[in-house]
Amino acid sequence: MEFFKQTKTINFMGKSKIAIAVSIVLVLISWGILAAKGLNYGIDFAGGTIVQVKYEGAAPIDTVRDTLATNPLYEGAQITEFGSPEEIIIRLKTSSKDVQSDMGDVTREALKGTGSFEVRRVDIVGPKVGGELREKGVMAMLLAILGILIYVAVRFEWRFAVASIAALIHDVSIALGAISLFAIDVNLDVLAALLTLLGYSLNDTIIVFDRIREGVTASKSIELADVINESVTKTLSRTTLTSLTTFFVVLTLFMFGGEIIHAFAFTLLVGIIVGTYSSIFVASPILMWFGFNVGNYRTKLAEAARRRAEKEKMRAMYEQGTV
């Protein structure tokens, strides 16, 4: 399906210096935010307790806060609305043995007199388990990036692999900066969104790189900038259609999916925007910076084609008896 037909080649690489400058500024700002504010780890990674309570009617959050403030067990607890005015979440940084035993009953006792309610969920994660999950999460991301690096290097060449990884680092850095800026809880959902972002961004970059590789052999120009402009212009309709449809689906989840999926949808929303941008304005210009030469690549492809033809000829000679 072609969303719109673009007949004139757009000079994307003519704007690459401005785009790269914008990207560098955004990445530096993101790293600055991460250094200043850090990440707000949820109980999945930091350990702690979450109690979800549903009231009949609007939850009296101020009354709940005043009531729990007098209980030492709930010292430092965060009480926030969860999805609807009737439900609240009580977040505790502790997961002691006393708390693990019957936190639901303890909370019912502590909230007596605040109205008619039911405890719908109690999640408890110990600090050690949270630390192990955090280490495994970081390891999963590093292994994913390493696998991507090897795959792209084998499928294309090392310059494409480096450009892909640079684009992925750009996307993840900005997404983490936004997560830190808006104090989104980093939990397993956010980790899943970041891994999804890696796949989405790489897929978009691979589509552009495939067109560039085709353009290297088919284009009349020997200038890499011209080849990239032609290739990106050809994929513009597909990129726009894919990005917009994905964006609106995730936006719907963000607006109407409820509190549980809020962090996941927020991370993906940021990722879709920066991932689409980076595949055009970050990954492609890096190929030029690393000195990718169209003439040398065509010679390399021609040599590979010649070797394949010789192998086919030799196979025909020995297997089919032809000369």
pLDDT mean across residues, the chain: 81
pLDDT at 196: 87
| Alpha-carbon 136 to chain mean position | 17
Both structure tokens of 223: 């200038």
Question: What confidence tens digit (pLDDT) does each residue in 40-85 have?
Answer: 887 777 777 888 888 888 888 888 888 888 887 777 777 888 777 8
- Closest C-alpha to 203, from 234, 162, 176, 243: 243
Higher pLDDT, 229 or 317: 229
Instruction: Give per-residue burial for 66-103: e unless 16+ CB within 10 Å, then b.
Output: ebbeeeeebeebebeebeeeebbbbbbebbeeebeeeb
Q: What is the mean pLDDT of residues 211-237?
A: 80
Confidence of residue 174 (pLDDT cuts 50, 70, 90): very high
Q: What is the mean pLDDT of residues 195-205?
A: 83
Asked whether residue 183 carries a pLDDT value surpassing 80, the answer given is yes
Q: What is the mean pLDDT of residues 225-230?
A: 84
Residues 6+ apart with CB under 8 A from 88: 52, 53, 55, 59, 61, 64, 79, 80, 81, 82
pLDDT at 181: 92
Q: Which of 4-8, 180-184, 261-265, 303-307 is the least confident region? A: 4-8
Asked whether residue 30 carries a pLDDT value surpassing 90, the answer given is yes
CB 294 within 8 A of CB 223: yes
Q: What is the mean pLDDT of residues 228-247?
A: 84
Q: Where are the beta strands (DSSP E) in 187-320?
A: none
Confidence of residue 26 (pLDDT cuts 50, 70, 90): very high
Calpha distance 110→108 (Å, rounded) = 5
Length of the chain: 323
CB 64 within 8 A of CB 97: no
Calpha distance 169→196 (Å, rounded) = 14
pLDDT at 212: 82
pLDDT at 25: 94
The whole-model pTM stands at: 0.74
Burial group, residue 170, by CB count within 10 angstroms (0-12, 13-18, 19+): buried
Calpha distance 110→158 (Å, rounded) = 61
Asked whether residue 322 carries a pLDDT value surpassing 70, the answer given is no
Both structure tokens of 20: 């790269």
Q: What is the mean pLDDT of residues 174-187?
A: 89
- Closest C-alpha to 10, from 198, 280, 194, 210: 280
Region at 57 (left for phi over 0; alpha for psi -120 to 50; beta for the rest): left
The number of beta carbons lying within 10 Å of the beta carbon of residue 178 is 20
CB 51 within 8 A of CB 90: yes
Could you give the angle at the alpha carbon of 320 between the alpha carbons of 316 and 322, nearest 5°?
65
pLDDT at 123: 78
Calpha distance 89→51 (Å, rounded) = 6
Q: Which amino acid is at 269?
A: L
Instruction: Return the DSSP state at 38.
Output: -
